[in-house]
Structure 1
Amino acid sequence: MHKHTLLINYESITTNHDSAQLNSAAWKNCVSLASNVTAHKNPIGDKLYYTATSLFNNLSYTENGKLYYKMPGTGTFQVSSKIAIGGHMFFNIIP
């Protein structure tokens, strides 16, 4: 598990943004997530690659029970794991 650190230059933020932005729910949510990253579920997990699900579906195929993805400009690789979230496919390959 990697330890994540959030560094904020508060003077820079307050100089460049008004106080309404700093007190907004969106800002507080961002700071909370960044400060407590290990407390939140990460459905993407260890996936190193992503693309649109439709593109993944167009460029992947199954052969002998194994899933392959034709990565544009690189080659074809066996997919070791994948997860679709919304319109995105996150996946790992066997190089």
Structure 2
Amino acid sequence: MTTNEMFSSEKYATRGVSERVPLDIQLALWSILDKRKQRGDTLDSMQVFELIVELVDGEPLQVVRNRQEQPPHEETIYLDVSEPVDGITLWVIDSGEYCTMLFPNEY
């Protein structure tokens, strides 16, 4: 599977993710992967997203750290969302048939 084909099949989120992570954040994470593909990044089939809240001028801002193992990649993205979440790690895995967003303990 080429990088442009990765994360292009049907996308799913587990029930746990659907219950704990607001939809706008879920959509933003999928969008981050789409933008990386458009940039020509080589994507690993497992992406790790760490969600952290930082206060900027007294306002909560969603911080997303996206990383992968092969090839090594790490970047930080700031999102303006209505309900930021803190201390959550998500995995997005492309199995080839479908893509799943899940918590590490759901693997």
TM-score range, shorter chain: under 0.3
Larger radius of gyration: 1
TM-score (norm 1): 0.26
| Higher RCO (Cα < 8 Å, 6 or more apart) | 2
Greater share of strand: 2
Greater share of helix: 1
TM-score (norm 2): 0.24
